[in-house]
């Protein structure tokens, strides 16, 4: 009798519904990868990429998920057309050969139900290196206008561009690049 009861309880446990991960599509109208870099020791130059897409999968119960972001390198914008053309050239982003940058993470860090970090890989100029993102202002809830579930956060990291083969004018133009990504994503 005890064996039958134990078998029943084990079977019932496997039959219970499990919480599934939620999938979110990045909202390209509200997601902007930004960067800042020291310019000749005189100022901090800022720029951004205007076209981003991707998927984020979150399972807050299991404290797991993934991030898959693609950035259109041709959408670089520093507020100066001539500089943007130069940055798209073979000396920098070489957008003819490498039209996208990509970030993929499968290890997410949570503090309670809040997503606080991601360990993944950044691919830039065909070179893939580990990059950890710190996440702040993580929030999920209904979108105030369309009422659909969404999540948002601010992600930051600092990389050495020379690690990716992007070393033109180093050290005059800084090697360290601070990346900030404001991201919003709607639940699928």
Task: Please check whether residue 80 lies inside any domain of the structure.
Answer: yes
Phi-psi region of 63 (alpha: psi -120 to 50; beta: other; left: phi over 0): left
In a 13 Å sphere around the CA of 34, the CA atoms on its Cβ side amount to 15
Task: Please check whether residue 3 lies inside any domain of the structure.
Answer: no
Task: Please check whether residue 134 lies inside any domain of the structure.
Answer: yes
Q: Give me the residues paired with residue 18 across strands.
A: none
Cβ-contact 154, 182 below 8 angstroms: yes
C-alpha span between 160 and 13 (Å, rounded): 49
What does the pLDDT read at residue 16? 41
Q: What total number of domains does the chain contain? A: 1
What does the pLDDT read at residue 174? 96
Whole-model pTM: value is 0.85
Query: What is the DSSP secondary structure assignment for residue 184, as one 8-state letter?
Result: E
Task: Please check whether residue 15 lies inside any domain of the structure.
Answer: no
Structure tokens at 24: 């979110």
Q: What is the pLDDT along the chain (188 residues), one digit of tens a residue?
A: 445 444 444 444 444 444 689 999 999 999 999 999 999 999 999 999 999 999 999 998 999 999 999 999 999 999 999 999 999 999 999 999 999 999 999 999 999 888 999 999 999 999 999 999 999 999 999 998 989 999 999 999 999 999 999 999 999 999 999 999 999 999 99
C-alpha span between 71 and 51 (Å, rounded): 6
Q: Give me the residues paired with residue 69 across strands.
A: 54, 103
Dihedral sign (CA 109, 113, 115, 116): negative
Q: Give me the residues paired with residue 138 across strands.
A: none
- For residue 36, the enclosing domain spans 20-187
Q: Which residue has the tokens 């050969």?
A: 97
What does the pLDDT read at residue 17? 43
What are phi and psi for residue 127, nearest 5 degrees?
A: -105, 130
What does the pLDDT read at residue 19? 60
The CATH number that applies at residue 29 is 2.40.128.110
End-to-end CA distance of the chain: 46
Task: Please check whether residue 36 lies inside any domain of the structure.
Answer: yes
C-alpha span between 169 and 125 (Å, rounded): 17
Task: Please check whether residue 14 lies inside any domain of the structure.
Answer: no
Q: What is the dihedral of CA 69, 142, 61, 110, to 10 degrees?
A: 60
Task: Please check whether residue 8 lies inside any domain of the structure.
Answer: no
Host H or E run for residue 20: none
Task: Please check whether residue 115 lies inside any domain of the structure.
Answer: yes
């Amino acid at each position: 009798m005890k064996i039958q009861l134990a078998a029943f309880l084990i079977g019932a446990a496997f039959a219970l519904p499990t919480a599934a991960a939620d999938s979110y599509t990045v909202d390209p109208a509200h997601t902007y990868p930004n960067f800042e870099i020291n310019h000749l020791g005189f100022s901090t130059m800022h720029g951004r990429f205007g076209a981003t897409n991707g998927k984020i999968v979150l399972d807050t119960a299991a404290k797991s998920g993934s991030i898959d972001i693609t950035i259109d390198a041709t959408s670089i914008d520093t507020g100066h057309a001539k500089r943007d053309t130069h940055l798209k050239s073979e000396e920098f982003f070489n957008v003819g050969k490498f039209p996208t940058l990509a970030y993929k993470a499968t290890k997410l860090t949570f503090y309670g139900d809040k997503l606080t970090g991601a360990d993944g890989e950044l691919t830039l100029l065909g070179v893939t290196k580990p990059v950890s993102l710190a996440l702040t202002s993580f929030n999920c809830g209904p979108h105030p206008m369309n009422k659909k579930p969404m999540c948002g956060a601010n992600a930051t990291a600092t990389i050495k561009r020379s690690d990716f083969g992007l070393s033109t004018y180093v050290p005059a133009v800084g090697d360290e690049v601070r990346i900030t990504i404001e991201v919003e994503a709607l639940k699928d």
